[in-house]
C-alpha cells in the first residue's frame, strides 16, 4: 500500500490531475480527503483496483460514459425520462393484461349468444301457460319481466365464468376491474 498525492497518482496511471479529481467525485477510494489545505492521499492499490473495476463496468455497459453528471439539469432530465419510461412500461403491461385475444372473444361471443338465443327461444313455451289465463296486463308484464331477468342473470353468470376461466388460462390471479365490471351484469336496477 503506497500513499501518494493526486499529482503523483496521475503520473502513475497516466491520467491528468483533473481526471483523477473526477474519479474521486465518482467514488474512487482515498485515504485522506484533501480540502482546507490538506493534501489528498490516495492508496494506489485500492485506487487502481477501483479504476479497473470501473473500466470493466464501462465495458459491460453498467456505466454509461455519456451519462450526465449527477446533480446537473441533464442528469435530472435523464432521471425524469427514465421514470416516464418505467411508468409507460407498467401501463403497457397493465393494458396487455386487459386485452383479450380476438379468437377467444369470438368464442365467448358465440357461447353467450347461443346461451341467450336458447333462453329466448324458450320464452314463449315457458311463459304461455302462465300468461294465457291472466287478464291483467300488469301481472303479465311482471311474469315476463321475471323470466327475462332470469335469462339476463344466466347470461351474466356465464360471462363471469368465462372471465374467470380466461384469467386462469392466462395465469392471472386476483380480482380486477374487469371482474368488478362483470359482477354487476344481470343485476336488477
Contacts of 22 (CB under 8 A, 6+ apart): none
pLDDT (0 to 100) of residue 119: 82
**Which pLDDT tens digit goes with each residue over 141-186?**
999 999 889 888 888 888 888 888 887 887 754 444 444 444 444 4
**Which pLDDT tens digit goes with each residue over 90-105?**
988 888 777 777 888 8
d(CA 138, CA 32): 95
**Residue 32 pLDDT > 80:** no
For the chain, the first-to-last Cα distance in angstroms comes to 82
Domain extent listing, the chain: 3-66, 100-183
Q: What angle do CA 1, 24, 9 make, to 5 degrees?
A: 45
Q: Among 61-70, 73-82, 119-128, 162-171, which stretch is predicted with the lowest mean pLDDT? A: 61-70
pLDDT (0 to 100) of residue 185: 47
d(CA 53, CA 65): 14
pLDDT (0 to 100) of residue 84: 92
d(CA 173, CA 50): 46
- The pTM of this model reads 0.39
- Determine the CATH number of domain 3-66: 1.10.10.10
More confident residue, 188 or 46: 46
Q: Are 13 and 48 in contact (CB under 8 A)?
A: yes
d(CA 177, CA 68): 41
Q: How confident is the model at residue 125 (pLDDT cuts 50, 70, 90)?
A: confident
Amino acid at each position: 500500500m503506497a500513499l501518494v498525492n493526486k499529482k503523483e497518482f496521475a503520473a502513475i496511471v497516466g491520467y491528468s490531475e483533473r481526471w483523477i479529481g473526477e474519479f474521486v467525485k465518482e467514488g474512487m477510494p482515498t485515504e485522506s480527503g484533501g480540502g482546507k489545505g490538506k493534501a489528498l492521499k490516495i492508496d494506489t492499490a485500492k485506487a487502481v483496483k477501483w479504476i479497473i473495476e470501473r473500466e470493466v463496468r464501462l465495458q459491460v455497459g453498467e456505466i454509461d460514459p455519456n451519462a450526465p453528471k449527477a446533480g446537473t439539469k441533464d442528469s435530472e432530465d435523464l432521471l425524469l425520462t427514465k421514470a416516464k419510461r418505467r411508468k409507460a412500461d407498467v401501463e403497457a403491461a397493465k393494458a396487455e393484461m386487459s386485452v383479450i385475444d380476438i379468437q377467444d372473444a369470438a368464442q365467448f361471443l358465440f357461447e353467450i349468444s347461443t346461451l341467450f338465443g336458447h333462453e329466448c327461444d324458450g320464452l314463449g313455451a315457458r311463459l304461455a301457460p302462465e300468461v294465457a289465463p291472466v287478464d291483467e296486463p300488469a301481472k303479465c308484464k311482471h311474469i315476463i319481466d321475471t323470466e327475462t331477468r332470469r335469462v339476463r342473470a344466466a347470461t351474466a353468470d356465464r360471462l363471469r365464468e368465462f372471465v374467470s376461466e380466461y384469467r386462469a388460462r392466462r395465469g392471472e390471479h386476483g380480482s380486477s376491474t374487469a371482474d368488478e365490471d362483470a359482477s354487476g351484469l344481470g343485476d336488477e336496477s
